[in-house]
Amino acid sequence: MNDRPSNELRDEFSPSTPAVTSETVFQILSTHRVVIVHFWAIWNLVDRTMDSRLMEIRGRLPIEVQYASCNVDAPSCFELAKSVGVLNLPWLAVFVGGRHTGSICGLRNADRLAQELLRLISRGPVDESTSD
């Protein structure tokens, strides 16, 4: 039997993508045409699978994409999460040319995830007053 508490296992996870905050995201948005930010939390075990799916589809998108991650429980990330309308996890926000073009909430299989991300990359920025 494993004597390690389940909370200890959750605390060890961190996404494979570079971390951003409300302040540092602008640097990435200004230096990369397409950015996908994975909003996650240590306590959400589904985020581990989303991280794996993002790694799996990296070569499938026909455009160079910069991936990043944002821990929604970190106070330094509250404004960024609010600005893209994070309601649940996992949450992906897509930015093209520094502007938010849409979001994906929930886990998808790799094929569907790649298809939905391409759709969001291809369309124009969203009106922030109406969430996607």
Alpha-carbon distance 88 to 105, whole Å?
A: 7
Q: What would the pLDDT profile of 38-51 be if each residue is shown by its tens digit?
A: 999 999 999 999 99
Q: What would the pLDDT profile of 79-108 be if each residue is shown by its tens digit?
A: 999 999 999 999 999 999 999 999 999 999
Domain limits of the chain? Answer: 13-122
Q: How far is CA 122 from the centre of its chain?
A: 17
Alpha-carbon distance 80 to 66, whole Å?
A: 17
Tell which wins on pLDDT, 59 or 8. Answer: 59
Q: Considering the entire predicted model, what is its pTM?
A: 0.86
Tell which wins on pLDDT, 62 or 16. Answer: 16
**For residue 131, what pLDDT is reported?**
44
85 CB-contact burial (10 Å; exposed 0-12 / middle 13-18 / buried 19+) = middle
The CATH number, out of the four listed (3.60.15.10, 3.40.30.10, 3.90.230.10, 3.40.50.720), of the domain defined by the range 13-122: 3.40.30.10
Q: How far is CA 36 from the centre of its chain?
A: 6
